[in-house]
Structure 1
Amino acid sequence: MFNDCIIMAGGSGTRLWPASNSKNPKQFLSGPGGKSFFVSALERGLELTRRQEEGKAPGQVIIIAGKGHTPHVIRAAGEFDETERRRMVLIPEPLAKNTAPAIACGAIYANRVFGGDRNMLVLTSDHIIGPLEVFAADAAAAAVFSAQGKLAVFGIPPRSAETGYGYIEAAELLSPASGGAGTSTEASGGTAVYQAAAFREKPDRATAEQFLKAGNFYWNSGMFAFSSEFMLGEFRRNSPETLKPFEALKAPDQGAFRTEGGLRILDNWPYLAEAYQAVKGISFDYAIAEKCRSVVMAAARFDWFDVGSWDEYARLMGKTGAEVYGKTDTCFVDSDIPVALCGVDDLIVVIRSGKDGAPPTALIAKKGESQGVRNIVEQIKGAGRTELL
């Protein structure tokens, strides 16, 4: 299905502050069922690169994460057996420069190490996605088009007039079987793939309502499929300043890697640090997707949740296993120290004691008001207390 999968795990996720911070971002927090968001993303990447043509070896999962998050990635990789770990490689980013440089780096790595044209999948690492079999079927439909030299994006059917997501405008229906126009895919209950008409920025409320009413606008999931040669060409055409620093990178020799916990880590790739110093931070949407002339959109049939607030996290998790005394039936507590509640209702209580060496922090919010964490984070930045983030 896919030769390689790039998993982007470099975000610092402050919407779930203080549990999520620059040292322990959201993707490494526990999700429903106890697995971290990142471990679930690894499962998806491993599965979709396992499904190769008969006789071909399974593909590789290329993890792009911040250098400071290496211990988290090693710990997560330890949940897989040795065979699966051999199919992973971690490229630690010296600096956070957004998603376009991360994807350019991953595509250059695949090109330098494997050569030829690779069918590649890009996954986020901080979303809830399932069931895996449905996601795999939707990805297979996208893979048909990416192998034909198109950028395939995954669009999420909107559940509400959400202002926090970008949107994709879908045009005519295409057939994954042939790449031509038709209606057989939708009629047969398969994955509907559409020509993408446009990417739209995060809208205001009135515009989001219009999108929802129109029926042909989808949330942008931030996940993509493409062939490596096509994508390198798109970078050269639409964002050459992003690709140029990485084109100096040669195929790494064995001395560039180290192994820890069974995971290969590309810790010493010559000129990688210089490339990240030189490149400007920019999102993949701005650099490539919005400028690309060959974009299709696979309409997701899988479940997708971007857990962007403590209210959403509380609804999904139910309980966290925190040691809580007193009134617990209407309050949600995520704490690494014991907490007692008396005479309060509908609270979200998040406490980090500083056991990991970070400053101790606490959040107390009324249920339904946790979107205000964004404002709190901005206040912390304004106060110059970035060590709390």
Structure 2
Amino acid sequence: MDDALIRSLTPAVLGILVRRGADFAAAEDAVQDALIEAVRVWPDDPPRDPKGWLVTAAWRKFLDATRAETARKRREDLVEAEPAPGAASDTDDTLQLYFLCAHPSLTPSSAVALTLRAVGGLTTRQIAQAYLVPEATMAQRISRAKKTVGDVRFDQPGDVATVLRVLYLVFNEGYSGDVDLAAEAIRLTRQLAAAIDHPEVAGLLALMLLHHARRASRTAADGSLVALADQDRSRWDTRMIAEGVEILQAALAKDRLGEFQAQAAIAALHADAPEAGETDWVQIVEWYDELAKLTDSPIVRLNRAVAVGEADGPRAGLKALGELDDSLPRYTAVAAYLHERDGDEQTAARLYVEAAEKASNLAEREYLTRQAARLNRKSPPHR
């Protein structure tokens, strides 16, 4: 059975049920039950119209559940004669589902989980495995999210920026369990881009593609992190890079610059350099200046300090860094790198150790520890 087909049809089927009058939580449960039925039936009896089959099956599941709860008057009123099987409506409610799943009343983690379940078509078990939490925990999170948005009107306008933030959160989770969340985020963003002509949607898709193109070179055989400057660029996916650049150029041509387009432009400049030493750092600094205007983010300014250090020298980078709060995540790691570039290896080694102690994950901690050890071997600290 074509799992990709089923997952691509899930949001459309869910949208049809909601448009017919089912509340979101009940509709989502009915769609999941229909998907289970499809897994059982389709291998031996594949339907001619998969979408129509799923709509019919899901609506039956919904009506069965509705009739079983006769004490709830609102649902009783929805019970009508079952629509005759046949071709499903061509109305595409995918965009509304994106907005609903990224509703501002939801926490980021709940919005991500609901998006993966309702729009992505993943099972609760798959989502739980991807986030390394018990299935029961994830089921509760999704259930609470569905209740939160249960009374939200389906035709209310949504916030594209919120949807994009949720998709970027999915992308940055990367890979764990049997679900590649980075690839799933790209698939969902492609789907969103097909439903809405928006330069920031295109910008996010370009950014994802440009980052994902470097995935194979980001870790060594032992699983350790490899810095961008040290990556084997022959392993970068040039076809994916070309697609990302093409999408970005079309988005920038609309002259409605947003943060994801600016981030993608920076990623494109990294991807364009055949060797790390040929990176156009001056232009990257200019894009960070644009990004800082758009977001006023201290993390953007931290990354800008690195770029300034490459474009204008490490002391200029340290000066830019000195204007920021030293409690920022990765501040100490950036300081260590710039001090090393400036030739102060003992200070750099000490700062790498401090940065390792503050690292938020094991891979980053091990990388920073290795940098400190490397410098200490070259220039042992004074006793």
The two structures have a TM-score, normalised by structure 1, of: 0.25
* Structure with the higher fraction of residues in strand conformation: 1
* Structure with the higher fraction of residues in helix conformation: 2
State which structure, 1 or 2, has the greater radius of gyration over its C-alpha atoms.
2
The two structures have a TM-score, normalised by structure 2, of: 0.26
